[in-house]
Structure 1
Amino acid sequence: MPDRVLLTRPGARGEVLARALGEAGYATAALDVLRFEPVALSDSARTSLLDLDLFQGIIVVSPQAATCLAEAIASYWPQLPLGLRFYAIGRATAHTLYAELGVPAVIPTRANGEDSEGLLEVASLKVVAGKRLLLARGESGRELLEERLRERGAEVEAVSLYRRRYHPPSPPMRTWLENGDFAALVVTSGEILQHLVTWCGPVALNQPLIVSSPRLATLAETLGFGSPHVASGASPAALSAEVRAVLDPRGAIFDQGDHEKGKRR
């Protein structure tokens, strides 16, 4: 069985993951099934950006959203308003916000996970009644954050900054998926997982699937994947470590609590 690891994360973050796995001795191939496209701001989005200094919190759901938000803010604010509080869904998003805007961001704890569910556990987002929050995201993203924050009494204004475009895998990668001709598949997005399952044959569905959260593992099992393994996070280091643990368990040292989770690590 080939030792190639198939990657689905697009852009620079995918390249970082590929380098991390390459340094660990694994051959990688990028499936390149997802690309981001900017979208024109709606009238309501422009109004929200002009009112940026009136928000009690700015929530950013991905590194792509952080990059697009920084570009949009620069069009309306020569200098970033003081006192803004930013929230990021994970460390990569927080790093992008700091690189683009020079601002720190509140992130979920490692224990709660780098996803919408984890961010909703942040203490200051549990008491938001009457607060005005801006949600920077892509089109057709998950609605959980907006729904839960509204239920908690916040006034949430969602701003769509980009869209995702999905493409079929190109040859020979389509054949690899059809035949299960790879050692492991790494996926960090539910939408990508749902897109890829249509190309996966029976063998591929039972090859190791490395995902970044228990939510994705549950989705994977629902879609028919038989061997999901949960990394400790969505960072390149966490994903690379899980690939090594799964493909070369002799060289891995497990925490007993994690090891007992088996496939759902």
Structure 2
Amino acid sequence: MAKPPACRPEVLTTRPGSRGAVLDAMLTEAGCRVECLELMALEPLPATQAMRQAIIDADLFQGVVVISPQAASCLAEWLEDWWPQLPQGINFYAVGAATAEVLHARLGVRVRVPPRVTRGEHAEADAPVGTTSEALLSLPSLQHLEGQRWLLAAGEGGRPLLGDTLEARGAQLTRIELYRRLPLVLSPQQAGRLAAGAYDAMVVTSNELLETVLTSVTTRSLYQPLIVSSNRLATLAYAHGFERVTVAEDASPGALTQAVLRACTPAT
């Protein structure tokens, strides 16, 4: 575990919603001065007939894959409304531990999560990469899905990898989009701080957030420490010119906090 830095580093965060609030609180408790850049808001999507039908047919699915904590929360709300007693025999899968925790807390179900995966070429030597879609797809129980009905609960847009791979393995897949990401405009003060590199570290946890950040960064920003939640995101950050990228063990607030402390602690 990384030790707290001698001074209080100034950290910019970008994660929206309740998970962002947890991260900000954890960083503050670890001794950081935190400012959240309001780049994105999460909004539940209105119900469609396809969404209602998928929930009504929940007992017909062999498995459900849930992309994010927000998708888990929306899905749990729908299932609670339509199924006072959850159907038996559904296998739940989540891309990360936080998503699994939401499903377990709300629905009381056992949830399978990805195994750890090894680092790629851009990860730091002491920073293994955590849970990813690719790691979830490596589970033995997801290799042969011929004739099985599966539900994929996600947000609007996003990577097609999970859905495409499940279908390629034989699954009859239904995808429902439960929420959308709304881009926000940075205040002049926050945009100026980001452009000036006036911070000690910045945390980015998705491609969409990184792309939004890129509209305000300068050369000075590119030399400030950037903490990301996956090796895939690190590769994208390097491609855009960031020089000091630290990959957290996974996307959890605890792992991101430890990565920030590592990045802000001078080597001895």
TM-score greater than 0.5 by the shorter chain? yes
| Aligned equivalent of 2:123 | none
Query: Per-residue deviation at 1:77?
Result: 1.6
More helix by share: 1
Q: Is the 8 A contact 1:130 1:154 kept in 2?
A: yes
**Aligned counterparts, 1:84-233, within 5 A:** 84-111=90-117, 113-233=130-250
| Aligned equivalent of 1:258 | none
Q: Is the 8 A contact 1:217 1:228 kept in 2?
A: yes
SS at match of 1:40: coil
Query: Per-residue deviation at 1:101?
Result: 1.0
- The answer as to 2:49 corresponding to 1:43 is yes
Query: Per-residue deviation at 1:173?
Result: 1.1
| Aligned equivalent of 1:259 | none
RMSD of aligned Cα (Å): 1.6
**1-side partners of 2:21 and 2:51: how far apart?**
31
- The answer as to 2:11 corresponding to 1:10 is no
Aligned AA (2:227) = I
Query: Per-residue deviation at 1:110?
Result: 2.4
Query: Per-residue deviation at 1:225?
Result: 1.7
Aligned AA (2:73) = T
| TM-score (normalised: structure 1) | 0.90
**Aligned counterparts, 1:38-77, within 5 A:** 38-77=44-83
**2-side partners of 1:212 and 1:167: how far apart?**
21
| Aligned equivalent of 1:254 | none
SS at match of 1:192: helix
Q: Is the 8 A contact 1:194 1:223 kept in 2?
A: no
Aligned AA (2:70) = Q
1:185-239 Cα shifts (integer Å, max 9, x gaps): 1011111111111111111122110001100000111222222111111111111
Q: Is the 8 A contact 1:146 1:156 kept in 2?
A: yes
Q: Is the 8 A contact 1:178 1:200 kept in 2?
A: yes
Query: Per-residue deviation at 1:122?
Result: 1.3
**2-side partners of 1:205 and 1:122: how far apart?**
36
Aligned AA (2:190) = M
Segments of 4+ moved more than 4 angstroms: none
Query: Per-residue deviation at 1:250?
Result: 4.5
Q: Is the 8 A contact 1:87 1:107 kept in 2?
A: yes
Structure 1 stretches lacking a partner, 5+ long: 252-265
Structure 2 stretches lacking a partner, 5+ long: 1-7, 119-129
Number of aligned residue pairs: 251
Q: Mean Cα displacement is larger for which, 30-39 or 56-65?
A: 30-39
Of the three residues 52, 61, 82, the one matched with 2:88 is 82
SS at match of 1:32: coil
- Return the structure number with greater relative CO, CA threshold 8 A, min gap 6: 2
Of the three residues 247, 256, 262, the one matched with 2:264 is 247
**2-side partners of 1:169 and 1:4: how far apart?**
18
Query: Per-residue deviation at 1:71?
Result: 1.1
| TM-score (normalised: structure 2) | 0.89
| Aligned equivalent of 1:260 | none
SS at match of 2:27: helix
- The answer as to 2:3 corresponding to 1:30 is no
**1-side partners of 2:136 and 2:256: how far apart?**
20
